[in-house]
Structure 1
Amino acid sequence: MESAATGPQAPARLRTTPSWLLTQTAAHASRLVAEGLGALDARGYHYRLLAALDEVGPASQAELGRRCGIDRSDVVAVLNELAAKDLVRRSPDPADRRRNVVTLTDAGGRELRRMGETLDRVQDALLAPLSTAERDQLTRLLTRLLDHHTGR
């Protein structure tokens, strides 16, 4: 059941299951986000860490990893990339010299805004067939599902 215009088609009984629809939509959303951020020479982890620093202020590398759900070794690698672009600054924690405190720089704040604008355009492209009310409803429903399954 494949045509040149539509490509492969899953069986109808699968195409009507919420789990399949969520998975397929998530894969599409992930690709759009990767393309959008990639055009800025950035990745999702960059945005997550910069956004966390913007929301909560300076934090240790370990705290950022926990807050963003990123493995400690990945946090270090991503922070190295961000520091090389002067988007974050790492300095020893005055209370514990074994830890680094990470701070968002002014350039990091500007880059975060630029990335946010790109992600807004990605959301618009992803949700193009939905009205504003439908977008809000979808967001509320997905939040409710995620909160339920993550115990929030």
Structure 2
Amino acid sequence: MSEAVTPWDDAFTHILWRAQNAVHRKVQSKLDDSGVTATQLGLAVHLDELGPLSAADLSRGFHIAPQSVGTALNRLEKLDWVRRTPHPVYRRVVLYELTSTGQAGVAYGRQTMADVNDSVTSGLTSAEVAQLIRLLCTVTGQADSLAS
């Protein structure tokens, strides 16, 4: 007995990919004025929340390729959002910390992301948004466990 094959355009992975691309386009168009990408903003937000971190810490902790983290941090440094500082114990390790410009950029970015969030979820109830978040977290966890 053969199972029916879901058409490509109706498959969960395709719908999720389309949704991710649509949201990413919306986010990036709103971030263009700040001169940063969503990845760069995300790293700056993590530095704001967690304090100074190395590029390796950011790469491991947030599942971003080391090369991408390095490129993003270099861009943030050129924009004066972050500065390099030596690790207080391991002098060969470079830490990145936010500057006052970076803190202002993070505040702008947080508001921008909140506005985009409100915009893209405006057709859902708060219960539906909460359910969707839970389900996507489950999918993310499952995908991460399969990748390990």
Instruction: Give the TM-score, by structure 1 length.
Output: 0.81
Distance 1:14 1:60 in 2: 41
Alignment-derived partner of residue 132 in structure 1: 126
Q: What count of residue pairs does the alignment treat as equivalent?
A: 141
Equivalent residue, structure 1, for 2:3: none
2:34 matched to which residue of 1?
Answer: 40
Higher strand share: 1
1:103 aligned to 86, 97, 106, which one?
97
Separation of aligned partners in 1, 2:75 and 2:60: 19
In structure 1, the gaps of 5 or more residues are 1-11
Q: Return the offset for 1:130.
A: 0.9
Q: How many percent of aligned residue pairs carry the same amino acid?
A: 29
Matched with 1:56 is 50
**1:84 paired to 2:78:** yes
- In the alignment, the residues of structure 2 paired with residue 67 and residue 54 of structure 1 have an alpha-carbon distance, to the nearest angstrom, of 15
- Aligned AA for 2:39? Y
Contact 2:48/2:98 (<8 A) preserved: yes
Contact 2:86–2:95 at 8 Å: present in 1 too? yes
Aligned with 1:147: secondary structure? helix
* Partner residue in 1 for 2:22: 28
Q: 1:21 to 1:77 in 2, by over 3 A?
A: closer
> Contact (CA 8 Å) 2:86, 2:92: kept in 1 or not?
yes
Measured after TM superposition, the shift of residue 100 of structure 1 is 0.6
